Amino acid sequence: MKAMVRTSFGVQELLDVHVDEPEPDEVLVRVSASGVCHSDLTQLNGGMFGITDEARVLGHEVAGIVERVGSAVTEFAPGDQVVGCLSRSCGHCTQCYEGLGYLCANRAKINRPRPRLSVDGKEVTQSGQLGGFAEMVLTGADTLVKVPHEVPAECAALLGCAVITGAGAILNAARPSVGSAVAVFGVGGVGLNVVQAAALSGARQVVAVDITDDKLELARTFGATHTVNAASGDAGATLRAITDGGVEYAFECAGLASTALDALRAVKPGHGVYLVGVPTAGVTFDIPAGELVLTAKHIHGVSMGANRFKRDIPLLAQMYLQGQLRLDELVADRIELGDVPKAMERFADGGVARSVIVF
């Protein structure tokens, strides 16, 4: 197959890649669509926690059609449309027993011990056991979930990361009370889904904060009642004026120390900040301890929308089919596999909700 391979930090090449035979518990998927996430850029440049520089196929927002299944797989059959998700779990560690499978303690141990992919006999690893920047994905059945064919592939792909991370931060983690005020800092692919889930949850105000007017305008179509351009004047003062002193829930979706502090200052005493964006390795958040303690504010880290993806992704797909969830509007560009490097470069201009490879 053809795959875009990160051959070293900062370098990607479109190569012919050999795909192994499926193990009994594995599924071979012909990729229909694959989203380009900002965290792929972080992995490309070596900024992700624990990422080494071995050859790797990036991409973790994947939808495709099952081509073959291993002898022990009963959940899927050839012809099924499936979505991949990073949050596979062992099912029997303490976190899994507590319903926190997205934080599975044994995820590294359940990775396949031998390579699925190779180039000229040399191992090529897969991002999140997926590697969606490729014509095919060979992965474990525990990494996939079935969705209806009525969901377009380019929309289905985004369910596995951008949608489940953003919507899950609202629906699974924060669960804001009806009538709450919500602020969302950073309205890219993930932040837009925080916005629309907040609107669906019955928030009285949803304030989108970003530095790009085009993204803020798009956020209004996803349910934002107000927008604040953080590059224009005192954004904090503007937000507090809009919300009569602050919000009950603030969501930081950019992974930046500066916006984390802005989010903390945006919430009213006794309320919380939810850190959703993945920071680059080495980033620290400088939080004023006195303000945190004396105002009884609280900070929550949210990983992958606190999901149970085998349950959540089919529900989100159904919400889309019922017209409750916007997915088509998340797709800003439909690109070819060879266009991945250019799509990553466009993250710098801040104007793209999601570029999606369509095969």
pLDDT exceeding 70 applies to what percent of the chain? Answer: 97
Dump pLDDT digits (tens) for 59-70. Answer: 999 999 999 999
Dump pLDDT digits (tens) for 271-289. Answer: 999 999 988 878 888 888 8
Dump pLDDT digits (tens) for 240-249. Answer: 999 999 999 9
Tally of CB atoms within 10 A around 195: 31
Hey, what are 243's tokens? 């919300």
Dump pLDDT digits (tens) for 17-35. Answer: 999 999 999 999 999 999 9
Residue ranges in the chain assigned as alpha helix (H): 38-44, 94-97, 153-158, 164-168, 189-200, 213-221, 235-242, 257-266, 289-294, 309-321, 340-345
Q: How confident is residue 351, by pLDDT bands cut at 50, 70 and 90?
A: low
pTM score over 0.95: no
Cα–Cα distance for residue pair 331/95, rounded to 1 Å = 34
Ramachandran area for residue 244 (φ above 0: left; ψ -120 to 50: alpha; else beta): left
Spell out where the chain has E strands. Answer: 2-8, 11-16, 18-19, 26-36, 56-57, 61-69, 81-84, 117-119, 122-126, 136-140, 144-146, 181-185, 205-210, 226-229, 247-252, 267-275, 298-301, 333-335, 355-358
Hey, what are 14's tokens? 């479109």
Q: How confident is residue 349, by pLDDT bands cut at 50, 70 and 90?
A: low
Domains and CATH numbers, the chain: 2-160+306-358 (3.90.180.10), 163-303 (3.40.50.720)
Please report the pLDDT score of residue 138 as a whole number. 96
Higher per-residue confidence, 279 vs 119 = 119
